[in-house]
Amino acid sequence: MRLVGSAAFKAVETSEPRLAGSIPVHLRQMWKLFLLAIAGFWLLSPAISAHADPAQPGNTRSVVTEISPATSAIDVSIVGVDAFVKMKVQLGHSAEVIGYDEEPYLRIDEKGRVFENSWSPTVVINKTRYGTGSTVPTDYESTDAPTWRQIATNGEAIWHDHRVHWMSPLKPAVINDEGLVQNWQIDMMVDGATTAVLGNLYVEDAPGSWWWLLVVPAAASVLLTKKRLRLIALMSVSAAVMVLGMTQYFSLPSPARDTPSLIALSVVALLLALVAMALRGDEFVAAVSTAAGIALVVAVGLHRNQVTHRFVPGVGDAWYVRFILPIALGIGAVAIWHGLNALLRVPQPALTGSEEN
């Protein structure tokens, strides 16, 4: 079989001959860089969270039921399903949150300045959801004078509080038919008066694993469609995942936010799908759409716990999260399969009579 000059070979921006349908040198280099970047993003994602211990999906939720005695000076709510407590104090009023050892923990004064008692053991314990790795100074005494450090000026404090959530990754037992796990209470002083914020913690069953079965019809629906329709599906589901990620991220205050990897990867997938729609060369379309599929699959892989848990920070118990992500996984997988199939397929040249001899 002839090599140079045969119809079985083409040269794409290189002087070296290659089999038709094989991956050009420049595309192979692009693939190495892209896959390296995606692998690095996957491995480093847990380590580059926006904050040390952001809100995560789970099956428990916490609610504030009462402030006793009732007062309009403060507003208290739960952020991130059960991860953080948020308190807003009106100007002209003051509030001081009591820590786990009945020591002063947080203080917001009449001017809206927010202070944290840096000598409080509650500060250390609240750095993580389960208080792991906490080391309280050995010379600490609950009667020690507070060491106030200003941390904000907006009259608002947001903090982890272990009184409002379950202190174990294991499913808690319930004490009534409503799924109640425990009643909780946070003590504080509001304008010098003893005040209690009361609430309840509930648990619900995890959603069924059957949601992942949506991968099958999603993949099957685009597997048999034409290339342009596959690209439209890839572009549409990437946009849906991007909107989902933005809704979750921007619905939470800064301390409760996780790494915006769902936004970043879906934006990459969307941009690559748009580029693939604009390209003409089959090889480039296959390479770019495969890259978009990989970005989408990695995005779902990193956030698969949103499908397997009932509550997602920022959106709560949202069925559409469990609907969009499996469909994105199916469409992304099909994009990878079609793209690699087109890139790696090596058509055999027809042999002429002289070549056969």
Sequence-distant (6+) residues with CB within 8 A of 71 are: 190, 191, 193, 195
Average pLDDT, the chain: 84
Of 342, 332, 314, the closest CA to residue 54 belongs to 314
Q: What are the residue boundaries of the structural domains of the chain, listed by start?
A: 9-52+206-344, 60-203
| pLDDT in the model for residue 266 | 95
| pLDDT in the model for residue 228 | 87
pLDDT band at 221 (very low <50, low <70, confident <90, very high): confident
pLDDT in tens, 312-342: 999 999 999 999 999 999 999 999 998 888 8
pLDDT in tens, 135-183: 777 677 767 789 999 999 999 999 999 999 999 989 999 999 999 999 9
| pLDDT in the model for residue 2 | 42
pLDDT band at 292 (very low <50, low <70, confident <90, very high): very high
pLDDT band at 1 (very low <50, low <70, confident <90, very high): very low
* pTM of model > 0.85: no
One-character DSSP codes across 322-348: HHHHHHHHHHHHHHHHHHHHHHH--PP
Q: CA Rg, the chain, in Å?
A: 28
Angle at the Cα of 132 from the Cα atoms of 126 and 135, rounded to 5 degrees: 75
What's the rounded Cα separation, in Å, for the pair 209 and 219?
Answer: 18
Average pLDDT, integer, range 10-14: 41
pLDDT at 299 over 50: yes
| pLDDT in the model for residue 16 | 47
What's the rounded Cα separation, in Å, for the pair 58 and 203?
Answer: 9
| Range of weakest confidence among 27-41, 123-137, 305-319, 327-341 | 27-41
Tokens (6 digits) for 34: 């892209």
- How many CB atoms are closer than 10 A to CB 184? 19
